[in-house]
Amino acid sequence: MLAERFPCDGWTPTFEIAEREHIPRKFLEAILVQLRDGGVVESHRGAQGGHRLSRDPDTISVADIIRIIDGPLALTPCASVTRFRPCLDCADIKACRMQHLMRKARDAVAGVLENCSLISLAESQDAGSARTREGPPALRSHP
């Protein structure tokens, strides 16, 4: 919702986002605080307050959001680019047979998520809304 409203200078109230997106308000508030602290969202208190993106949604990737909310994209800490550390049960990271595979998995996930911007996600959701109303292709009745 914030991505769709980015060009305007107005603020979107939390209750409006929660209603439209069917998200519990307290849960949404916690997410918005994390996104604000991560520099993706700006917040303004008061009757005319709310939230807005701090920059163009075309420059914010889904990977950026996931890293703010959930941390590194890697499945194991030894495969993380942003927060590398040896795994707790690793005796010798240089001899680990799994690290290379975990890095490949991390790179594949990052490749998808880093190449999906908030605006493209919002646009695909709009296209998906029409598809959802019609049902999946296999379940649609054909004339």
Which residues are 61's β-sheet partners? Answer: 117
> Is 58's pLDDT higher than 50?
yes
Q: Which has the minimum average pLDDT: 4-8, 71-75, 135-139?
A: 135-139
Based on the domain organization, do 47 and 73 belong to the same domain? no
Based on the domain organization, do 38 and 11 belong to the same domain? yes
Q: What's the domain range around 92?
A: 61-116
Task: Specify the pLDDT at position 24.
Answer: 96
Please write the tens of the pLDDT for every residue from 83-94.
999 999 888 888
Tell me what the pLDDT averaged over the chain comes to.
Answer: 86
| pTM to 2 decimal places | 0.78
Based on the domain organization, do 68 and 35 belong to the same domain? no
Q: Which of 23, 40, 55 is the last residue in one of the domains? A: 55
Q: Which helix (H) or strand (E) holds 6?
A: none
From residue 96, give the alpha-carbon distance in Å to each of 17, 85, 99, 106, 108.
Answer: 46, 13, 6, 16, 20
Based on the domain organization, do 91 and 112 belong to the same domain? yes
Whether 104 is covered by a domain: the verdict is: yes
Mean pLDDT over 51-61 rounds to 95
**CA neighbours within 13 Å on the CB side: how many for 83?**
11
Annotate 126-143 with b (16+ C-beta within 10 A) or e (fewer). eeeeeeeeeeeeeeeeee
